[in-house]
Structure 1
Amino acid sequence: MLRSPMLNGKVHIMILASLAAYLSACTGRTPEQPGDTPSPKLVELINGAIAREIAAMDPALRPGLLPQAGEQARRWLQEISQVVARCRYGPGNNAKSNLLEYDIVLASGEQITGVYSGQRCYYPVAKPLVMRVQFQGGQVREVTTDGRERERPVDASLGEIQQFAERVLRADWKRNPARYFRPAKSSDDVAREWDMRKP
């Protein structure tokens, strides 16, 4: 029995889609999803890391920041509903492009996806903290994982936790720099400085 060319085309598409899904699963191209096990200790540690990052937003320590930068950071946290820390690809992928990224969801429904953490996911060395971090009123309310954080000492996770706090806060620096930094000097301001500078 002969099949129509249209039916043959649909069969080929279905076969290609199945093959792509199979290859994706085998090569770890699908992002790993956070588990659903609550981690109260991670809640405590992340809130502490965020508090340290905000305390360091002091113009005396970081020239260029406005005095109200810390307060602006607290307002930013109140806008956040959740952050998912995930690898771009799954645990079967050890390519350099398998980056640890953060997807930020705001209470407004806006999503900021693929915020780079500064770290790549290299599973043979250590499982990255893939987690769902729920916020409420500017504080971390709940963190869920698959329990992997308990497979290594707490100290081994502290750098990744501090990195999470820093990158989530700085995501708003890029979106709204005027909230945190003095305006850049205009070319006229720079020219005046040169004209008025005494030797």
Structure 2
Amino acid sequence: MASQAIPKKVLWVLLFWLAVPLVVVAYLFVGPRLWPPAEPGNIPSPTLARLLNESIEKAISQMNPNWSPGLIPEAAANTRTFLGEVSEVVARCSMGPREPGQKWNKLEYHLTRVDGVRYKPIYTGIRCGRSSLIYRAVFKDGQVAEAYTDGSERQRPVEDVRGIVREFGKSVTWSDRDYHPQRYYPPPPTSPSRADIEKQWE
């Protein structure tokens, strides 16, 4: 009897160690589909729209060579041109609430231009959690015309929400630098021609 029990134990151990990886893989694959990142609600939030515009104006006020050395004087005006090209920005988490590795679950801004082009998600570094504010900011004429949420922001003081969205303006406005650097920086110096190099050695 003892000789028959040993193989059964070994079999169960093997089955266990085979099942664990399968469960983990299934969790990693199915988890994002069963528990995707939360989407914004459809409740208008005029006060949130005002706070987002405040954040944008503060970011634009700092877009000058004195505040940010290396920028061209036209950077602020060019930023407003860019904002006029924005259709909407959605703030949501990068991962669903039950996906593994929650410490890497960060708030992202998903920007769409009026021509339908989507920028790559704008990374904020802000960790997502149950209290994260998920919203959709709809732009018109370079400003946030409407903001939509699930209404949860109304459970907090306005000053707290102002602090939560304070980085919105900087993150959104700076995102265009990767796509149109000429709007914000002087052109790179041209490489000297071969003749110029030869003259340097005369």
TM-score, normalisation: structure 2: 0.75
Name the counterpart of 1:113: 120
Which secondary structure does the structure 2 equivalent of 1:54 belong to?
helix
The answer for unaligned runs of 5 or more in structure 2 is 1-24, 193-199
Structure 1 residues 53 and 24: alpha-carbon distance in aligned structure 2, compared to 1, 3 A threshold: closer
Name the counterpart of 1:61: 67
Aligned mates of 1:160, 1:65 — CA distance in 2: 27
Task: Point out the structure with max Rg over C-alpha.
Answer: 2
Which secondary structure does the structure 1 equivalent of 2:124 belong to?
strand
Q: Deviations over 1:44-67 (max 9, x none)?
A: 111111111111112112111100
Name the counterpart of 1:98: 105
The residue type paired with residue 165 of structure 1 is G
Residues 1:155 and 2:162 are matched in the alignment: no
Aligned mates of 1:186, 1:130 — CA distance in 2: 45
1:81 to 66, 84, 87: 87
The Cα RMSD (Å) is: 2.6
Q: CA deviation at 1:160?
A: 2.8
The residue type paired with residue 156 of structure 1 is D
Q: CA deviation at 1:155?
A: 2.0
The answer for unaligned runs of 5 or more in structure 1 is 1-15, 189-194
TM-score, normalisation: structure 1: 0.76
Q: Percent identity?
A: 39
1:1-199 alignment to 2 at 5 Å? 21=30, 23-24=31-32, 28=35, 30-93=36-99, 95-123=102-130, 127-185=131-189
Which secondary structure does the structure 2 equivalent of 1:133 belong to?
strand
The number of residue pairs the alignment matches comes to: 169
